[in-house]
Amino acid sequence: MKRALPLLFLLPAAAALAVKAGDGYVTLRGHRITVEVAADDASRARGLMFRDRLAADHGMLFVFVDDAPREFWMKNTRIPLDMLFFDAAGKLVALQRDAQPCRQDPCAIYPSNAPARYVLELAGGSAARLGVAPGDVLSIHADFGEVR
């Protein structure tokens, strides 16, 4: 029984590493942002849940197989986030600024209100700091592997 205890501490780290398989970076308004890529259902569902912090120059890039209206929520998310929605050409079509962690159900839904292929989540306030505006273009430098 005592041998199993240290393994319990490794499980959260192993889960976090599973999301990082497709790391890369994006550029937006001349700023380079290191991203973890979420390109399958499991990694998109987990997203940035259970994180206590997110560096100013880091984020998560959600990749989908098609352009469609997207909805995100903040269930089990501990930090405020900016959600930037981009179409297949990388053009910013919508953004949700400073989405707050969900403290109780039902959680608020944050929609794209426009078809989007990519969603970039950044620490809350990053979009304002970078001066992001609809029409800005995202340049992606990451290996998605197989998008599912």
pLDDT in the model for residue 11: 34
Report pLDDT for 97: 97
- 38's tokens: 């979420």
Domain boundaries, given as residue ranges, for the chain: 22-142
> What pTM does this model have?
0.83
**pLDDT of amino acid 22:** 56
Q: pLDDT in tens for each of the 148 residues of the chain?
A: 333 433 333 333 333 333 344 589 999 999 999 999 999 999 999 999 999 999 999 999 999 999 999 999 999 999 999 999 999 999 999 999 999 999 889 999 999 999 999 999 999 999 999 999 999 999 999 887 778 7
Q: What is the pLDDT of residue 141?
A: 94
Nearest to 12 by CA among 50, 52, 58, 62: 50
Fold of 22-142: Jelly Rolls (2.60.120)
Q: Give how far Cα 86 sits from Cα of 3, 61, 127, 136, Å.
A: 47, 10, 14, 9
Exposed (0-12), middle (13-18) or buried (19+): which is 5, by Cβ within 10 Å?
exposed
3-state secondary structure of 17: helix
